[in-house]
Structure 1
C-alpha cells in the first residue's frame, strides 16, 4: 500500500512539472504601407499616349475617373460591363503592374 501511494505521488509530482507555465512573449509587428498619393484629374487632362493605348488595349472598356501622382504615373478607374477595376500607366502610355 505504501508503494502504491509512493508511486502515485511520484507520478503526480512529475506531471506538475509539465503543467508549469512559461512566460510567453508576444511580438507585435506593425507594417505601414505608404502608397502613392493620387489626385483626381479631369479625363480631358489624360495624356494622348495613355488614351490611345487604352483604346487599343481595352476597346470595350470605359474610363470613369483618372488620377495622377507626383511621379507622373496615372491611375485609371475602368468599367467593362459590370466589372470595375483600376489600371496604371506612365505618361508615355506604358502600362504599370501594381
Structure 2
C-alpha cells in the first residue's frame, strides 16, 4: 500500500512540473549606428578659424589631412610629436567631442 501511495505521489508530482509554464520574454534591442560621411578636403580649404584654434590648443600640432561632412563639421588628422590622433571641429573653430 505504501508503494502504491508513493508511486501516485511521484507520478502526480512529475505531472505538475510539466504543467507549469515558464514565462518567455522577448526583448528587442535596437542599435542605431550613426556614422557621418566625411569627404577629404584640401588643407587649404580648412577654415582659418579651425587652423587658429588648432594652433592655440596644440602649438606643436601638424595637420596632415582634413575631412568635411554635410553638416560642415571637420575631422582633422593631427600629429603631435610621435602621437597621431583625430580632432573634430565646427567651421567656426569650436571643438566637438565624438
Q: TM-score under structure 2 normalisation?
A: 0.72
Q: Does the alignment pair 1:81 with 2:81?
A: yes
For residues 27-55 of structure 1, give each alpha carbon's deviation from its aligned partner in whole angstroms, at most 9, with x where no partner exists.
Answer: 34232223221111111111111111101
Question: What SS does the aligned partner of 1:56 have?
Answer: helix
How far the C-alpha of 1:60 sits from its partner, in A, is: 2.1
1:33 aligned residue: 33
Instruction: State how 1:3-42 maps to structure 2 within 5 Å.
Output: 6=6, 9-10=9-10, 13=13, 17=17, 22=22, 24-42=24-42
- Using the TM superposition, name which of 87-96 and 28-37 deviates more: 28-37
Please list every run of at least 4 consecutive aligned residues from structure 1 whose deviation after the TM superposition is greater than 6 angstroms. none
How far did residue 81 of structure 1 move? Answer: 2.9
* TM-score, with structure 1 as normaliser: 0.72
Unaligned runs of 5+ in 2: none
Aligned partner of 1:93 in structure 2 is: 93
Matched, 1:43 2:36: no
Rate the CA distance shift 1:15–1:90 in 2: closer, same or farther, 3 A. same
Matched residue count:
96
